[in-house]
Structure 1
Amino acid sequence: MAPHNQHFTAEEFSHRRAAAVAALAESDLDGILLFKIEDMYWLCGLDTDGFCIFHAMFLNRDGRLTHISRVVDLANIRYSSICEDIRIWRDDEDEPVTRVIKETLASHRMAGKRVGIQLDT
């Protein structure tokens, strides 16, 4: 489903994704976990004021994007982001977000691969 609230054209998002994928290749990375809302906005249009709430995104070197977020943020992601692969975690002590991140990386076949992680958040 296409988002309803895009601030950039599809062509612009395509150029941005290509630049990010090229940066992964230059860094010899197979993917990267992003945690900065500003970078998610730049890459896929996610528009949220939830800077103090956990959000993550995985960018695969093949260009696929995956959001990792809470169920309460699902409508906003669908409204503002071009990313269609959204993984939800329940935000409770019985389901740590690390499990969802691990499952996301496994679904992207990252076992044994080089995955970057954004630390400057």
Structure 2
Amino acid sequence: MERKSISQKIFMIVLGGSFVGSLFVGGLVYFMLASSNVQDALVKAVISVIISQIMFLIPVFGIKKIIDDKIVSKLKTVVNGMHEVSMGNLDYEIYVEKTGDELEELAESFDRMRMSIKAIMEKLEKGEL
């Protein structure tokens, strides 16, 4: 079973919020215009729901793409490295883009830990420990 990424979960929450928000806007439009012509108010309310949903989702898709490219991809790189090292591949190095953020620091810390484990294992094999 494939796990949902954090960005997918956030996206679903934001999508639900945008849907509720656009329904709220549509309801306001309907009730403001319903006194004059109910049929016209309903059409305008539906149009306002569709437009507000489109106007909201375009930037949300862009933000999700940025989060996936800048954050989730780095996390997947670190997770893959952790998996390799946990399976005994102490020569597996993690390379992440140098951005100076916490994810780069996480990858560097993990790589230092991998090198320390490798050095300890080599000393154990030589009988130095």
TM (normalized to structure 1)? 0.24
Q: Which has the higher contact order (CA 8 A, sep 6+)?
A: 1
TM (normalized to structure 2)? 0.23
- Kindly indicate which of the two structures has a greater share of residues assigned to strand: 1
